[in-house]
Structure 1
Amino acid sequence: MADVRFDAVRKVYDNGQVAVHGASFGIADGELMVLVGPSGCGKSTLLRMVAGLEEITGGTLSIGGRVVNDVAPKDRDIAMVFQSYALYPHMTVAENLAFGLKLRGHGKAEVARRVRAAADMLGLAGMLDKLPRAMSGGQRQRVALGRALVREPAVFLLDEPLSNLDAKLRHSVRAEIAQLHRTLGTTMIYVTHDQVEAMTLGQRIVVLNEGVVQQIDTPMALYERPANLFVAGFLGSPAMNVLHGRLLDGPRLQLRNDRVLALDGAAVAREWAGREVAVGVRPEHLQPAGEGEAALFVATVEGIEPVGNEIFVNVMLDDAPLVMRVAPRPLPPVGGELPLVLRADKLHFFDAATGVRL
């Protein structure tokens, strides 16, 4: 096992495009770190630089305390699981699992031991004679995981390994990966654009946008205290609601159409008065007013989405669309009015110009 360290790592392509801007962070020995962000944010580029599949333009990359900028991929003691599985279609499961070990000169007994151990761990013991085409997507992904597992590497790299699976399979294979990490205790770097995967798998998460690290923290710390508007909007489903306006004494928020909302109980510093801000509120912290409860404002219902144990309600406050997450309950029809309250103590305040958390 090994730690991984990025020190001012940059990647600039020949056409001048900067894919990664000076990333500096560490991944602890045995940690499962998730790199998350929208397409083109640089997360896969970072992973491929660890694998040795992309040259590093600047900075240093260390694995286990050894700088590997110029070390060949085969000598880095890493194993990678690709989005496309990358299985050999003419080989059985057992042959796919064993192929890399045989190339590295391991003896028959050692190859058999590792293949058997990986197959048992991943529930593949009864499928060793099957070809990939005779297997489901989830089974093939387990074979891809097993092929990395038999290598017994210092670092596992997983590049969007669940993106080709349906929702049910994604959930089950995600659970298998989490269990695998708990069992092995090996360093894992997991790349995804899916924030649900990131939140449920990562011990810590690196949020990237346009090649720049936005924030690194535990899943709940990112959710409860996002460093900027990008992180606030990216993590959370449904996304955080954002109201734009000017803070007044009270504290109160004057929206752009001059509507004023009282924010009693909000943690607002006095020196913020008069400042243009973006105020974030999570969907679960915006709720219908209870019986006899004074409403903060009345919104128009635009849509109702029951999803089993909760309902997503889309409403409109003047020209601002908002979404809230509520427990199943009677609601006005679409087009009806709904009095609302919000948890002022759960509000997030960001500078309107920079998007940085206040």
Structure 2
Amino acid sequence: MAKVSLDRLRKVYPDGHVAVQEASFEVDDGELLVLVGPSGCGKSTLLRMIAGLEAISSGELHIAGRMVNALPPKERDIAMVFQNYALYPHMTVAENLGFGLKLRGMAKQEVRRRVTEAADMLEIAPLLDRRPAALSGGQRQRVALGRALVRQPQVFLLDEPLSNLDAKLRASMRVEIARLHRKLGTTMIHVTHDQVEAMTLGHRIVVLREGRIQQIDTPMALYERPANLFVASFLGSPAMNLVEGELGRADGAGGYRLRIGDGLALALPEASGLEAVVGHRVTLGIRPEDLALAEAGPGALPARVEVVEAVGSEAYLNLDCDGHPLVARVPPWRLPSAGELVHCRPAAERLHFFDPGSGERLPA
């Protein structure tokens, strides 16, 4: 079983910088797990610790049931795909694919078999006699994947393998990696800073910030119930709208009111868990797709249209609501014009509430 287990892994550099803090999670056999976060959050450092390219300061790392803290990379039965491909420019594609196997003394016939098998799987068989300089970016990435594939490791580690590709090629290579994983059923850990890549590829996602794990869950669970303001704003494109205000009880029919400006308040429905924060400031989160154009009235916010971004199948309205920037994702027909005053209403059943001080989600 190629299960990977991290128990309180920590990385401290000689200058005292703590790059990874108490990272604990398990990657199941055959799972594709994604580490995601902004630059400098520790995700690549964590991957390099799993690979054996960075020393572990404290904690325990187990791969397939054995502790590997002190083992060199070649004894961990892993294969790594790097951001810069790391292909040998003087070798052909076939030689690049088989080089690692030859170093291990594998028989020529077995090397040839594995190279042919990987080339067929990745559809690069016609390129075996070319050198890297004669390949496109996507073809080089396939060769880098193939070089890891021929190793037949227990665990694949992918360190931002798509970041050097253009947007269209990134999308097609995401499909290739997902298809490859489904065929192989091998444990994969994929590092990226791209939240779309994380959402579309991962069975589960580990969200990191400043070396600390913020939340671990399936992509849609993270999207629909983020644990804190960082996860809420990091996952989703466009990002979640965040509006801070003072929560009070509504007059008359019940429910709540969020006062977000002088004379501007949003009527909110009754929700369990909010009573404890009445009279306090809270942050309301609204996904762009949960903010719809509406008639003026209770529960609708007046806003001025600043920019309209029509992107084909949908449009993004960039709004100014009394100094609060909002984005609404709407159908692309009958769009308002820049400068026009509109009213928008959030979907009452899909609101998110956070403590603005701690950033933690409120149980509403």
TM-score by length of 1: 0.97
Structure 2: distance between partners of 1:257 and 1:146: 61
Note the residue ranges of structure 1 that are not aligned, 5 or more in a row: none
What residue in structure 1 maps to residue 148 of structure 2? 148
What residue in structure 2 maps to residue 158 of structure 1? 158
| Correspondence 1:326 to 2:361 | no
Q: Give the conservation status (yes or no) of the 8 Å contact 2:36–2:43.
A: yes
RMSD over equivalenced CA pairs, Å: 1.3
What residue in structure 2 maps to residue 167 of structure 1? 167
Q: Deviation digits for residues 176-228 of structure 1, max 9, x if unmatched?
A: 00000000000000000000000000000000000000000000000000000
1:331 Cα deviation (Å)? 2.3
Task: Give runs of aligned pairs for residues 81-120 of structure 1, distance below 5 A.
Answer: 81-120=81-120
The one-letter code of the counterpart of 1:337 is: L
| Correspondence 1:310 to 2:303 | no
Structure 2: distance between partners of 1:236 and 1:54: 31
1:275 Cα deviation (Å)? 2.4
Q: Give the conservation status (yes or no) of the 8 Å contact 1:266–1:345.
A: no
What residue in structure 2 maps to residue 124 of structure 1? 124
Identity rate, percent: 64
Q: Give the conservation status (yes or no) of the 8 Å contact 1:93–1:131.
A: yes
Selected match of 2:358 from 349, 354, 358: 354
Give the secondary-structure state (helix, strand or coil) at the position aligned to 1:41: coil
1:264 Cα deviation (Å)? 2.4
Count of residue correspondences:
357
Structure 2: distance between partners of 1:48 and 1:8: 16
Structure 2: distance between partners of 1:42 and 1:137: 26
Task: Give runs of aligned pairs for residues 259-278 of structure 1, distance below 5 A.
Answer: 259-264=264-269, 266=271, 268-278=273-283
1:294 Cα deviation (Å)? 6.1
The one-letter code of the counterpart of 2:347 is: R
Structure 2: distance between partners of 1:183 and 1:332: 47
Give the secondary-structure state (helix, strand or coil) at the position aligned to 1:9: strand
What residue in structure 1 maps to residue 252 of structure 2? none
Structure 2: distance between partners of 1:260 and 1:172: 45
Q: Give the conservation status (yes or no) of the 8 Å contact 1:246–1:254.
A: yes
The one-letter code of the counterpart of 1:349 is: F
Q: Give the conservation status (yes or no) of the 8 Å contact 1:42–1:208.
A: yes
| Correspondence 1:35 to 2:31 | no
Do the aligned partners of residues 293 and 120 (structure 1) sit closer, same or farther apart at CA in structure 2, a change above 3 Å counting? farther
Q: Give the conservation status (yes or no) of the 8 Å contact 2:317–2:328.
A: yes
Give the secondary-structure state (helix, strand or coil) at the position aligned to 2:90: coil
Give the secondary-structure state (helix, strand or coil) at the position aligned to 2:120: helix
Selected match of 1:344 from 341, 345, 348: 348
1:35 Cα deviation (Å)? 0.1
The one-letter code of the counterpart of 1:208 is: L
Give the secondary-structure state (helix, strand or coil) at the position aligned to 1:59: strand
1:321 Cα deviation (Å)? 0.4
1:341 Cα deviation (Å)? 1.0
Give the secondary-structure state (helix, strand or coil) at the position aligned to 2:354: strand
The one-letter code of the counterpart of 1:301 is: V
The one-letter code of the counterpart of 1:300 is: R
Give the secondary-structure state (helix, strand or coil) at the position aligned to 1:47: helix
Structure 1: distance between partners of 2:192 and 2:82: 12
Q: Give the conservation status (yes or no) of the 8 Å contact 2:266–2:299.
A: no
Selected match of 1:281 from 286, 291, 300: 286
The one-letter code of the counterpart of 2:294 is: A
TM-score by length of 2: 0.96
What residue in structure 2 maps to residue 70 of structure 1? 70
Note the residue ranges of structure 2 that are not aligned, 5 or more in a row: 250-254
The one-letter code of the counterpart of 2:115 is: V
1:239 Cα deviation (Å)? 0.1
